[in-house]
């Protein structure tokens, strides 16, 4: 490892963006001679050590070492990257022999050009306030790197710069966003690659989504009225059932809706907006994420405002920044590990929806295995008492336990429900020409139809007794007609009613004259309210009292007039 001579440590700091540039500028202003040592000790990797040598108010040399030793501009680039990390230790060391160091490492020199300062130049015209922002162009105006940085480093640096401009916009549990571009599909694909459960319901086919955005076919449904596999029927209740079933079995899931204009043309705009509100409330309650892609021009101003209120609009620049650096999505709160409450809720759901499988009892058969042990008996020394080898058979019982493997059911969320609508069968009505032609074809075929068997089929209508609404006939016993009853003597007698204790009541005549001056009876008069009528301002026709006419006298006068005329 490259180690320079030890000197006096003037200052020591922790790494951060801009710290190295500040230390170099201070040494240049103070015209101090020494070097800046940068050291990092990452886990599971070799230590990274670099030195920047400064002399005569300029950068003289640079060295860096990890797996290999770098010198010159390449070493300066690595030192700059290490100084931005927070686990880096930066030291300013002075009182060292800089010339001796450069002689030992001649390849580490950095050639820089300085402009000549003319005494007659108007130096006061170039004086300006120094900014606190340090950039690479101001630090190293004449140094050009010999090796370009890789593309992924450039993309990450650009995304970090863009992230600082965007501000605090994060994908949190319960977030609901909307946008008018297809960049939401790329964002959903990146979230799926990071392990988040995903469901896409849109007007694009499953094959198109798989090819363009690398989203698996089993994670998408085609919003259509056709009856094929992987189709979400155009019905709000069916869509709600599919979404709620998907959310119940998944934790911090992501839902992408597209094609709201097509759904509104069939189900109605107000129903679609109400569905978006209900889904947004469900997402916020269960810590899920909802992404909506729609075209604002297809809606009225009022409807577009209601959609943006239910799903806040997410700028396209922010989405493209996230898509340019998919690894930055891991820092969002949605990707954080689940809490204990969420894990407990998921465990309860799995226990409630996992079927209990009863393992049938299996009888274990025990086989008796007999082994033969041969025991040899020593031969006696006497030949007379010679005995043969005796074989003793001892039965031994060995019990073999059979190991039965029972398949363990896999726990997991149930599949999304798909509603398939049956087609209506319609019979085709033949035209008049086709009817005549079919009759002629049947006549040409020569088929003879035999006699049809008329079998008696009992009626399925319940029968019972009924009454006929008919008067009986009058018998002929009575010789006289019914009008003779009136001619009897009893009908000619005047009936005399019995006398009562009450006296006779007089009946007032109907032709009695009623005075016109009496007040008419009204509700106000019954309550004692007196109505004063302004007769002075009435018209003459309405103020004239009505004349009473005697009808009998009038008729008598007509009769006299007729007699005079005759």
Residue 92 is predicted with a pLDDT of 92
Q: How confident is the model at residue 286 (pLDDT cuts 50, 70, 90)?
A: confident
Contact between 96 and 163 (Cβ < 8 Å): no
Mean pLDDT of the chain, nearest integer: 76
Q: Look at residue 189 and give its three-state secondary structure.
A: helix
**Is residue 138 over pLDDT 50?**
no
- Mean pLDDT for 128-142 is 53
- Position with higher pLDDT, 72 vs 490: 72
The pTM assigned to this predicted structure is: 0.39
What are the start-end ranges of the H helices in 325-390? 340-353
Q: Give the span between the Cα atoms of 140 and 143, in whole angstroms.
A: 5
Q: pLDDT per residue over 481-511, tens digit each?
A: 666 666 777 667 777 777 777 666 665 655 5
Helix axes 260-267, 269-286, angle to 10 degrees: 130
CB 385 within 8 A of CB 418: no
CA distance 181 to 229: 27
Q: What residues does each domain of the chain span? A: 8-111+135-139, 165-345
What is the fold of 165-345?
Rossmann fold (3.40.50)
Averaged over 401-420, what is the pLDDT? 72
pLDDT at residue 350, as a whole number: 66
Query: What pLDDT does residue 97 have?
Result: 87
Strand partners, 231: 222
Instruction: Say if residue 318's pLDDT is above 50.
Output: yes
Q: What stretch of H or E contains 254?
A: strand 254-258
Sequential DSSP letters for 36-81: EEEEE--TTS--EEEEEEE-SSSEEEEEEESSSEEETHHHHHHHHH
Q: Rounded CA gap, 75 and 69, in Å?
A: 8
Give CA–CA dist 112/464, Å, rounded.
123
Please say if the pLDDT value at position 370 is more than 50. no
Stretch 278-293: mean pLDDT = 90
Instruction: Give the pLDDT band of residue 190 (cuts 50, 70, 90).
Output: very high
| pLDDT per residue as tens digits for the range 386-396 | 444 444 445 55
* Local confidence band at 311 (pLDDT 50, 70, 90 cut-offs): very high
Report which listed range, 140-144, 293-297, 366-370, is most confident. 293-297
The arithmetic mean of pLDDT across residues 15-26, rounded, is 88
Choose among 257, 142, 251: nearest CA to 200.
257
CB atoms within 10 A of CB 131: 8
Phi and psi angles of residue 269, each rounded to the nearest 5 degrees, phi first: -70, -45
Q: Are 317 and 208 in contact (CB under 8 A)?
A: no
Backbone angles phi, psi at 543, to 5 degrees: -90, -10
In terms of Cα–Cα distance, which of 13, 110, 24 is closest to 61?
A: 110
Q: Give the dihedral of Cα atoms 520, 521, 524, 527; nearest 10 deg.
A: 130
Identity of the highest mean pLDDT range in 161-170, 177-186, 389-398, 528-537? 177-186
Contacts of 275 (CB under 8 A, 6+ apart): 236, 239, 240
Question: Residue 536 — pLDDT band, cuts 50, 70, 90?
Answer: low
What is the radius of gyration, based on Cα positions, of the chain?
A: 55
User: In this structure, what token pair is assigned to residue 182?
Assistant: 């297809």
The answer on pLDDT for 103 being more than 90 is: no
pLDDT tens sequence across 433-470: 888 888 888 777 666 656 656 565 656 665 566 566 66
The mean-pLDDT minimum among 104-118, 377-391, 409-423 falls in 377-391
Spatial separation of the C-alpha atoms in residues 58 and 114, rounded to whole Å: 9
Q: Which of 81-90, 99-108, 396-405 has the lowest mean pLDDT?
A: 396-405
- What pLDDT, on a 0 to 100 scale, did the predictor assign at position 392? 47
CA–CA–CA angle 213, 217, 222 (5° rounding): 90
Q: What pLDDT, on a 0 to 100 scale, did the predictor assign at position 360?
A: 54
| Burial of 279 per CB tally in 10 Å (0-12, 13-18, 19+) | buried
- Provide the pLDDT for residue 111: 76
Give the integer Cα–Cα distance in Å for 20 and 26: 10
What are the φ/ψ torsions at residue 454 (nearest 5 degrees)?
-95, 95
């Amino acid at each position: 490892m490259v180690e320079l001579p030890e000197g006096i440590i003037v200052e020591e700091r922790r790494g951060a963006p801009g710290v190295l540039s500040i230390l170099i500028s201070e040494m240049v202003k103070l015209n101090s001679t020494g070097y800046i040592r940068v050291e990092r000790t990452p886990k599971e990797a070799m230590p990274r050590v670099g030195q920047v040598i400064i002399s005569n108010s300029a950068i003289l040399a640079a060295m860096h070492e990890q797996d290999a030793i770098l010198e010159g501009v390449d070493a300066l680039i690595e030192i700059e990257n290490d100084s931005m990390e927070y686990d880096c230790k930066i030291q300013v060391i002075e009182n060292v022999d800089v010339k001796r160091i450069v002689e030992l490492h001649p390849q580490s020199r950095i050639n820089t050009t300085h402009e000549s300062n003319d005494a007659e130049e108007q130096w006061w015209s170039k004086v300006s306030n120094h900014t606190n922002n340090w950039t690479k162009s101001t630090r190293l105006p004449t140094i050009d790197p010999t090796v370009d940085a890789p593309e992924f480093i450039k993309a990450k640096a650009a995304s970090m710069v863009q992230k600082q401009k965007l501000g605090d916009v994060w994908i949190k549990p319960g977030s609901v966003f909307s946008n008018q571009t297809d960049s939401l599909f790329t964002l959903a694909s990146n979230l799926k690659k990071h392990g988040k459960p995903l469901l896409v319901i849109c007007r694009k086919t499953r094959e198109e989504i798989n090819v363009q955005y690398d989203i698996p076919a089993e994670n998408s449904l085609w919003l259509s009225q056709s009856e094929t596999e992987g189709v979400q029927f155009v019905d709000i209740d069916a869509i709600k059932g599919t979404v709620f079933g998907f959310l119940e079995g998944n934790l911090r899931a992501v839902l992408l809706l597209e094609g709201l204009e097509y759904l509104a043309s069939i189900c109605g705009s107000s129903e679609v907006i109400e569905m978006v509100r209900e889904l947004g409330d469900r997402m916020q309650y269960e810590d899920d994420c909802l992404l909506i892609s729609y075209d604002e021009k297809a809606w009225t101003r009022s409807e577009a405002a209601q959609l943006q209120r239910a799903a806040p609009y997410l700028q396209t620049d922010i989405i493209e920044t996230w898509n340019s650096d998919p690894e930055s999505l891991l820092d969002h709160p949605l990707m954080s590990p689940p809490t204990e409450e969420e894990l407990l809720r998921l465990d309860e759901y799995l226990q409630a929806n996992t079927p209990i499988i009863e393992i049938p009892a299996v009888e274990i058969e025990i086989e008796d295995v007999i082994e033969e042990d041969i025991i040899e008996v020593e031969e006696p020394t006497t030949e007379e008492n010679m005995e043969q080898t005796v074989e003793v058979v001892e039965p031994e019982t060995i019990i073999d336990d059979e190991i039965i493997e029972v398949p363990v059911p896999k726990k997991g969320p149930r599949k999304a429900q798909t509603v398939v609508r049956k087609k209506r069968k319609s019979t085709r009505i033949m035209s008049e020409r086709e009817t005549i032609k079919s009759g002629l074809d049947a006549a040409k075929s020569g088929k003879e139809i035999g006699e049809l068997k008329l079998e008696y089929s009992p009626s399925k209508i319940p029968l019972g007794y009924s009454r006929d609404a008919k008067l009986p006939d009058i018998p002929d016993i009575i010789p006289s007609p019914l009008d003779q009853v009136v001619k009897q003597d009893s009908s000619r007698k005047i009936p005399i009613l019995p006398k009562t204790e009450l006296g006779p009541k007089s009946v007032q005549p109907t032709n009695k004259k009623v005075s016109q001056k009496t007040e008419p009876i009204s509700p106000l008069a019954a309550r004692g309210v007196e109505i004063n009528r302004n007769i002075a301002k009435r018209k003459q026709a309405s103020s004239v009292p009505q004349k009473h006419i005697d009808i009998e006298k009038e008729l008598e006068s007509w009769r006299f007039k007729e007699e005079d005329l005759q």
